[in-house]
Amino acid sequence: MPEAVDPRVAVYIDFDNIVISRYDQVHGRSQFMRDKPRGFSPADRKADPEIAEKLNRATVDVGAIIDFASSFGTIVLTRAYADWSAPVNADYRGQLVNRAVDLVQLFPAAAYAKNGADIRLAVDTVEDMFRLPDLTHVIIVAGDSDYIPLAQRCKRLGRYVVGIGVAGSTSRSLAAACDEFASYDALPGVKPIAPAAEATAAPEAAPAATRPSRSKKTATDATSAEPAKDVAPPAAPVFSDPESALGAPRRRASRRAKSPEPVVDDEFDVEPDPQEVATGLLERALRLGHEKDDADWLHSSNVKTQMKRMDPSFSEKALGFRSFSDFVKSRDTVAEIDETSTARLVRLVPALSDR
């Protein structure tokens, strides 16, 4: 009888596709093209806190994507394709480096570099399938219909194909070409879209159509920019996401204290609280388990395996617990154990499972 093969997963991310789609989903169709935030550097954020806040609200949680991918098996490679010299992409340096993502640089050969990521990603995927015959799952993070032939070819070569895309920007044909398709919005750990702050600030801010250009400074510009000064000083709301705060290390500690989730620091001089990291890891693993198995209770061994896939450095003993069960019991606000069973079953607390 042949031995069971541990699933081996490859993840390919069209990073521009997912970032632009998320921005348009949060702020409106084609808004990324209108706002032109691709070259928006940290220095520009001080001059235009409105765009900075928009970028912050549309931040993509790369960790949620990779954690979902790890629920299918062992991730053997993860690649993200983009022009990493663009500030809007460079802001994700902390997330990507901390999750060991291989960054593939795509220098734009034309004004819009059309299909650059599509072609390179497809070529690499097909090459990897022949180079790595034990690859069982291919995960494509994009919503472009250009990936339909790639998904079909992967299936013909015997791989299980999973697609991940942003709702509203995903081709239905691409979803049909995959064995399984997940919406980014529905991934465990992804926060719902928050109400737009611009709606409450509309009476004070200048209309978008008449907002002065940053390249011209006049007396009228100075007057219209005055309300923005009231918004700029509270740095935490503008840069509440750690990956959006390049160049502002002095505010890192205060952000971590206010954030309910582990913070990924862009530089490695400040480490997040390991207890908080472990709690967030447990919650996300439980959410993934409930979604995959559609069961009320999960075996604790499976939950621990999923946590180790998401973060290989996890160890309950390093956190001061004798066993994994003791670790779970200490997180009674997140998980509960079935004391009546000898199978060591665990589940997400009902109050959190409804969120």
pLDDT at residue 346, as a whole number: 92
pTM of the full predicted structure? 0.68
Dihedral sign, Cα of residue 247, residue 196, residue 255, residue 278: negative
Q: Where are the domains of the chain?
A: 8-186, 279-353
Give the 3-state DSSP-derived string for 284-307, with helices as H, strands as E and coil as C: HHHHHHHHHHCCCCEEHHHHHHHH
Spell out a b/e string for 154-181, using b for 16 or more CB atoms within 10 Å of the CB, else e.
beeeebbbbbbbbeebbbeebbebbeeb
The CATH architecture to which 8-186 belongs is: 3-Layer(aba) Sandwich (3.40)
pLDDT at residue 16, as a whole number: 92
Chain centroid to CA 211: 31
pLDDT at residue 312, as a whole number: 76
pLDDT means per 10 residues in the chain (355 residues)? Answer: 74 94 92 88 78 91 94 94 92 91 83 70 95 95 93 95 91 90 88 61 43 44 44 42 41 41 44 86 90 85 89 85 91 88 85 72
pLDDT at residue 257, as a whole number: 41
Half-sphere exposure of 67 (CA within 13 A, CB side): 29
Cα separation, 136 vs 286, whole angstroms: 24
Same-fold call for 8-186 versus 279-353: no
pLDDT at residue 233, as a whole number: 45
Please provide the DSSP assignment of 156-216 as one string.
Answer: HTT-EEEEEE-TTSS-HHHHHHSSEEEEGGGSTTPPPPPPPTHHHHTTTSPPGGGPPPTT-
The CATH architecture to which 279-353 belongs is: 2-Layer Sandwich (3.30)
pLDDT at residue 63, as a whole number: 93
Q: Say if CB 45 and CB 169 are below 8 A apart.
A: no
pLDDT at residue 99, as a whole number: 92
pLDDT at residue 165, as a whole number: 93
pLDDT at residue 82, as a whole number: 93
